[in-house]
Structure 1
Amino acid sequence: MSTATYKVTGMTCNGCATKVKNQISTVAGVSSVDVELATGHVTVTTESPIDNAVIMDTIEETGYEVVLV
């Protein structure tokens, strides 16, 4: 398993957090997603290493800015 944490800006409510979590969950190989709305941190656990760009692109496609922590 592999884990990466991202800082997502622009999430202002639980709906935003749910939208991000649901989108990331559709990426093949993702086993869990934890979104901490208060800090903007999103922790993604995958079954095997996934290119961070894939996760980051997915988050950006939902309308939010993201950087790897």
Structure 2
Amino acid sequence: MFFKKGLISESHATSTVARYTVAGMTCQGCTVKLRNALNSLDGVEIDNISYRTGDIDLKLSEGVTSSLVEETITKSGYSIVPAQ
């Protein structure tokens, strides 16, 4: 399993768009598990989660750190793929 920092692509007035690539998701149940974990975080809005590609697109409100998101992903049993 690998780690990849989230790629922050653009900032909005009160939010940041971030993409994570996650290893270990193998089915729709994995997507649901990770969606529930991320939805439990205040200030995180999920745009997309795909177990097929491993991509997760998020909008993070001001004050939400990438380390909090990464910790939530890893505590859910998945790994973040390293940026290439």
Q: Please report the TM-score for the alignment, with normalisation by the length of structure 2.
A: 0.72
* Other-structure match for 1:35: 49
- SS at structure 1 position matched to 2:69: helix
Higher relative contact order structure (alpha carbons within 8 Å, sequence separation ≥ 6): 1
Provide the aligned C-alpha RMSD in A: 1.6
Question: Structure 1 unaligned runs (5+)?
Answer: none
- SS at structure 2 position matched to 1:55: helix
- SS at structure 2 position matched to 1:59: helix
Percent identical: 29
Which one has the largest radius of gyration? Answer: 2
2:23 & 2:73 partners in 1: Cα distance? 10
Question: Structure 2 unaligned runs (5+)?
Answer: 1-14
2:43 & 2:59 partners in 1: Cα distance? 9
Match of 1:2 among 11, 16, 19: 16
**Which stretches of structure 1, 4 residues or more, deviate above 4 A after TM superposition?**
none
Q: More helix by proportion, 1 or 2?
A: 1
Q: Please report the TM-score for the alignment, with normalisation by the length of structure 1.
A: 0.86
Number of residue pairs matched?
69
